Amino acid sequence: AKMVCLDLDHPEILDFINWKVEEEKKVGALIAAGYSSDYEGDAYKTVSGQNSNNSVRIPNEFFEKLENNEDWELKARSDGRVMKKVPAKEVWNQISYAAWRCADPGTQYNTTINEWHTCPEGGEIRASNPCSEYMFLDNTACNLASVNLRRFFDESDNSFDVDGFEYTCRLWTTVLEVSVLMAQFPSKEVAQLSYDYRTLGLGYANLGSMLMVMGIAYDSEEARGIAGAISAIMTGISYKTSAELASILGTFPRYEENKEHMMRVMRNHRLAAYDADDYEKLSVKPQGIKAQYCPDYLLKAATRAWDEAVQLGEKFGYRNAQTTVIAPTGTIGLVMDCDTTGVEPDFALVKFKKLSGGGYFKIINQSVPSALKNLGYNVKE
């Protein structure tokens, strides 16, 4: 599927928000009339929107209007004229209902995204890739790699192998950097901008399973502390490695014009690792790592990684404009024997995956016995 994004002030935004809701109603009517409910059946084949992920780009200004119960202006794309005014609350309610009804549209927070943009001199970030983990300039791309977090968790002492994880992040950053220009590109523009910015896509999977084995609830402060620290270690080590590569190979070609912006973003990442307050040019304060909810050894590794990433970046610059993303890993997660995908929790301990072309296979969460053991249950229980 492709990603389809529309700005929230587009004159046709309400039609866009409700697009798939209306199509799902048609599908429901066809199924009620006797057509197959299979996603490859005639009911779904005869409606639109089935090969797109829809998202709306929401600026901070909208939430101010929403909070104050004001109208939201829809503007012409050609000359910026106000075409219509709609209560912000109505727009938000329609987004919420549509997301509940058919899982689209997603929301992309345009102001926040661009305040963390490392290369604004190249233009504004206007959209994302289809799964929404990669956000950068138009006509850019990155190769993805995901690390199975479960492999770094030692059940014998409930610890996370920081050294092994750091080594893996360093190795994969180097591999992805080497791969930047070894790929085939879909267009001349993508090829040129891949050379100019050299973006990478290192991420992880199986966070939910690892937390389960640790006996920690996914929706808890402790889980957020651990996830924040691991994410900070991964990204910090990756940018540190990028700076080391820059010391040998040089920075990415468009670094100098974006140096001030990129270093500001790097410093803000470092501040988040320390859960500090003095962020630079951010309208929304991010959620930093809460020391009271994070194991000390993970927190120290996270802050150390970002200290070194910033120090080396100030000295050498960076080889890559971006280095990390967290992808859904829906398919590669199966190949890596992950019980949960990407950053997500498990939605069911036993799942049936439908195969294109017919048939199912059963997926059972293999982490349950270890999780119950860590929670104090014996084999019989």
Catalytic residues: 129, 131, 133
| Calpha distance 279→266 (Å, rounded) | 11
Q: Enumerate residues 6+ apart whose C-beta is below 8 A from 153.
A: 159, 160, 161, 210, 213, 214
| Calpha distance 359→353 (Å, rounded) | 9
CA angle at residue 203 from 118 to 106, to 5 degrees? 75
Crossing angle between the packed helical segments 221-249 and 255-273, to the nearest 10 degrees? 150
Which amino acid is it at 61? E
Query: For residues 305 and 166, is the Cβ–Cβ distance under 8 A?
Result: yes
| Calpha distance 299→301 (Å, rounded) | 5
CA dihedral 22, 23, 28, 30 (to 10 degrees): 130
Query: For residues 239 and 318, is the Cβ–Cβ distance under 8 A?
Result: yes
DSSP-based helix, strand, coil % in the chain, nearest 5:
45, 15, 40
Give SS3 for 337: coil
Report which secondary-structure segment, H or E, holds 162.
helix 162-179
